[in-house]
């Protein structure tokens, strides 16, 4: 079945037959990282680090595909660090081996999210690069020199679909417009997306509702002015206040596989009990997907194509 027909049948099945099949799967292939960001709730160090083997990733990919998922996001830790030297009869495997495997299984679209501290070599359909402000704020959140290195690696990369994701905290929210401008002005970058900090481990970096409202107002104005903001207009309005979509949320549309193999059939924010503070841009978009909101469908279709 072609992509469009598959998505249409998925939607009808969910909407009218009450099926609950994920469309997107997020797979944390390692929680090892070359950074240790202030806001990160994933990264582990020392003996606590878990990395999946090639075989484990293969099993999880097949499981997600069999559930009905057709979009894969490889996450970490830092996914570009992932290796399994013993895989493929001793030939070894890296992130691009996993991307090829996902295509072979039949996924329609493959995404990688990276901190861009290494040359960006991922051969995915779409790459998300984390930029959490201009130099000062980004480096405060992610470590000294990380902003400059990310920009160097963006400049040296010829991937046709590089995009930026910003996690907005109470320390970097003033840089929101400047990051949108940076993306607009950089010919290597396509689109800009953002989420608010999710308080999994502490509330220290959580933006106040006033700061959150100011960012949403700026985002709405930039979107209307033609800035390449991925979040849809309707999604932005919902993201202003999680109470607006908490009873409409459809967080089962993405399932998550943690690096230790734990399979979570919904956004991990739900079992963690943080939905009342949801700032996950995708969370709002998923609620709209279910309603087939036109601005969300347009945003979803354009982000998967290059500029
Ligand atoms: C966990 S990282 C893994 C990929 C890569 N290492 C990177 O930094 O882009 C994936 C995304 O999750 C975001 N993230 C990490 N902790 C978060 C939190 N507590 N709230 C919201 N986003 C978070 C990161 O900023 C990044 O955009
Ligand atoms: S680079 Fe990514 S995974 Fe690593 S600590 Fe930062 S947010 Fe977490």
Q: pLDDT digit string (tens) for 240-292? A: 877 877 777 778 889 999 999 999 998 888 889 888 887 776 667 777 766 66
Considering every ligand atom shown, identify the ligand nearest to the alpha carbon of residue 29 and give its number. Answer: 1
Testing ligand 2's pocket by substitution, the residue of 26, 39, 41, 42 carrying the most ligand atoms inside 8 A of its CB is 42
What are the pLDDT digits (tens) for 218-230? 999 999 999 999 9
What are the pLDDT digits (tens) for 132-158? 999 999 999 999 999 999 999 999 999
Q: Which CATH code fits 3-303? A: 3.80.30.10
On whether the CB atoms of residues 165 and 154 are closer than 8 A, the answer is no
Spatial distance between the Cα atoms of 286 and 172, rounded to a whole number of angstroms: 26
Q: How confident is the model at residue 4 (pLDDT cuts 50, 70, 90)?
A: confident
Q: How far apart are the first and last CA of the chain?
A: 27
Cα(195) to centroid(ligand 1), Å: 10
Cα(37) to centroid(ligand 2), Å: 5
Supply φ then ψ for residue 40, to 5 degrees.
Answer: -80, 130
pLDDT average, residue stretch 54-73: 97
Q: 165 CB under 6 A from ligand 1?
A: yes
Token reading at 129: 């690069």
Cα(130) to centroid(ligand 1), Å: 7
Spatial distance between the Cα atoms of 61 and 25, rounded to a whole number of angstroms: 9
Spatial distance between the Cα atoms of 21 and 173, rounded to a whole number of angstroms: 35
pLDDT of amino acid 88: 93
Supply φ then ψ for residue 248, to 5 degrees.
Answer: -110, 5
Spatial distance between the Cα atoms of 292 and 186, rounded to a whole number of angstroms: 32
Cα(197) to centroid(ligand 2), Å: 13
Cα angle: 111, vertex 115, 121; to 5 degrees? 60
Spatial distance between the Cα atoms of 129 and 263, rounded to a whole number of angstroms: 25
Q: Which of 93, 91, 55, 98 is nearest to 75 (CA)?
A: 98
Cα(40) to centroid(ligand 1), Å: 6
Name the closest-CA residue to atom 8, ligand 2: 40
Domain extent listing, the chain = 3-303
Q: 73 CB under 6 A from ligand 1?
A: no
């Amino acid at each position: 079945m072609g992509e469009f027909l598959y998505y249409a049948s998925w939607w009808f099945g969910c909407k009218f037959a009450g099926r609950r099949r994920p469309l997107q799967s997020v797979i944390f292939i390692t929680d090892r990282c070359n950074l240790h960001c202030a806001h990160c709730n994933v990264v582990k160090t020392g003996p606590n680090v878990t990395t999946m083997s090639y075989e484990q990733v293969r099993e999880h990919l097949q499981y997600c595909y069999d559930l009905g998922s057709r979009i894969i996001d490889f996450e970490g830790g830092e996914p570009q660090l992932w290796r399994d030297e013993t895989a493929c009869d001793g030939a070894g495997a890296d992130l691009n081996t996993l991307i090829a495997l996902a295509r072979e299984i039949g996924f329609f679209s493959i995404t990688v999210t990276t901190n861009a501290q290494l040359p960006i070599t991922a051969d995915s359909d779409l790459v998300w690069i984390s930029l959490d402000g201009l130099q000062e704020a980004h480096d405060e959140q992610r470590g000294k020199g990380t902003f400059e290195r990310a920009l160097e690696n963006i400049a040296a990369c010829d991937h046709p679909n590089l995009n930026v994701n910003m996690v907005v905290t109470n320390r970097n929210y003033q840089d929101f417009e400047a990051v949108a401008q940076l993306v607009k002005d950089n010919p290597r970058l396509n689109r800009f997306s953002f989420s608010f900090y999710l308080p999994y481990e502490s509330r220290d970096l959580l933006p106040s509702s006033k700061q959150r409202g100011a960012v949403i107002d700026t985002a709405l104005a930039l979107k209307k002015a033609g800035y390449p903001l991925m979040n849809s207009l309707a999604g932005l309005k919902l993201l202003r206040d999680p109470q607006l979509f908490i009873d409409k949320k459809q967080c089962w549309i993405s399932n998550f596989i943690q690096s230790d193999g734990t399979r979570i059939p919904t956004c991990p924010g739900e079992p963690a009990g943080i939905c009342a503070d949801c700032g996950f841009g995708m969370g709002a978009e998923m609620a709209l997907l279910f309603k087939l909101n036109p601005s969300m469908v347009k945003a979803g279709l354009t982000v998967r194509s290059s500029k």
